[in-house]
Amino acid sequence: MERMTRWFAPWLLMAVTLLSVQTAQARDLPDFTGLVKQAAPGVVNIATTSSVSASSGPYGQQDVPEIFRRFFGDQMPPMPGAPQGEEERKSLGSGFVIRKDGYILTNAHVVKDADEIMVRLNDRRELPAKLVGSDARTDVALLKVDADDLPTLKIGNSDDLEAGEWVAAIGSPFGFDHSVTAGIVSAINRTLPSETYVPFIQTDVAINPGNSGGPLFNLDGEVVGINSQIYTRSGGFMGLSFAVPISVAMNVADQLRTEGHVSRGWLGVVIQPVSKDLAESFGLDGTKGALVSDVSDDSPAQKAGLKAGDVILSADGSDIDDSTTLPRLIGQVAPGDEVSLQVMRGGDQRKVDVTVGDWPDQTAADGSPSSASSNDQTKLGIAISDLSDQEKQQLDIDNGALVRRVDPRGAAATAGIQPGDVVVSFDQKAIDSADQLIDAVKQADGDRAIPVRIVRDGTSLFVALRLKVGD
Cα torsion 434, 435, 436, 440: sign: positive
Give the span between the Cα atoms of 365 and 416, in whole angstroms.
Answer: 23
CB 411 within 8 A of CB 381: yes
Q: CA nearest 163: which of 191, 184, 192, 183?
A: 184
Measured CA to CA in angstroms, residue 93 lies from 43, 105, 238, 248, 302 at distances of 11, 11, 19, 20, 43
Q: CA nearest 141: which of 181, 174, 101, 93?
A: 93
Environment class of residue 413 by beta-carbon count within 10 Å: exposed (0-12), middle (13-18) or buried (19+)?
A: middle
CB 291 within 8 A of CB 343: no
CB 463 within 8 A of CB 416: yes
Q: How many CB atoms lie within 10 A of CB 73?
A: 11
In terms of phi and psi (left: phi > 0; alpha: psi -120 to 50; beta: otherwise), the region of 194 is left
CB 108 within 8 A of CB 143: no
Give the span between the Cα atoms of 106 and 139, in whole angstroms.
Answer: 8
- Maximum Cα–Cα distance for the chain, whole Å? 102
Q: Which of 109, 135, 177, 247 is flagged as catalytic?
A: 109
Name the DSSP letter for residue 30.
-
109 assigned to active site: yes
Q: Which of 139, 277, 310, 421 is flagged as catalytic?
A: 139
Q: Which of 212, 281, 314, 323 is flagged as catalytic?
A: 212
DSSP string, 155-224: E--GGG--TT-EEEEEE-GGG-TTEEEEEEEEEEEEEETTEEEEEEEEE-S---TT-TT-EEE-TTSEEE
Q: Which amino acid is at 39?
A: A
Give the span between the Cα atoms of 330 and 264, in whole angstroms.
Answer: 8
Give the span between the Cα atoms of 378 and 436, in whole angstroms.
Answer: 11
User: Of how many residues is the chain composed?
Assistant: 471
Tell me which residues are annotated as active site: 109, 139, 212
